[in-house]
Amino acid sequence: MQLNSIKPGSGAKHTKRRVGRGIGSGLGKTAGRGHKGQKSRAGGFHKVGFEGGQMPLQRRLPKRGFKSAQLKYNGEVTLADLQTLAADEVDLLTLKAAGLVRQLVKHVKVIKSGELSRKVSLKGIGATAAAKAAIEAAGGSLV
């Protein structure tokens, strides 16, 4: 390969469309802008979602819902996750080290999903009523 033989890939480059350069070019007269109207004129601009003065869709629809910014600090762990975890005493740092919850998380709750057959002691971690019953049934405890 020589430096003078390097070319861009096929289809990578294409010639710019020259509009308004006569009838023979195929883009003469109106230059692909159609006839009349705001969009045919220079400087004819309107913002995205503008509907010609009609009440826009985002204002016609009702406001709905709310997502709390605090959700990113909350995490969930299943009983199946606790079953696979090697540690007998589980706290927030253990879960973060194992990669079961994100590093941002400050509050963790155990939910009843899957089975737990071994004894696990939870420190500073919440649990749903069903998960708490399952943990205590397996001989574990919540502190």
Q: Sheet holding 107-111: strands in order across?
A: 74-78, 107-111, 126-127
pLDDT at 80: 94
Is the residue at 118 inside a domain? yes
Run of H or E residues at 132: helix 129-137
**CA dist 60 to 48, 51, 63, Å?**
16, 12, 9
Structural domain boundaries, residue 117: 69-142
Is the residue at 111 inside a domain? yes
Q: How many domains does the chain have?
A: 1
> Model's pTM, two decimal places?
0.56
Is the residue at 37 inside a domain? no
Is the residue at 20 inside a domain? no
In CATH, what number is assigned to the domain containing residue 107? 3.100.10.10
Q: What is the mean pLDDT of residues 97-118?
A: 95
pLDDT at 44: 84
> Within the chain, what is the greatest distance between any pair of CA atoms?
87
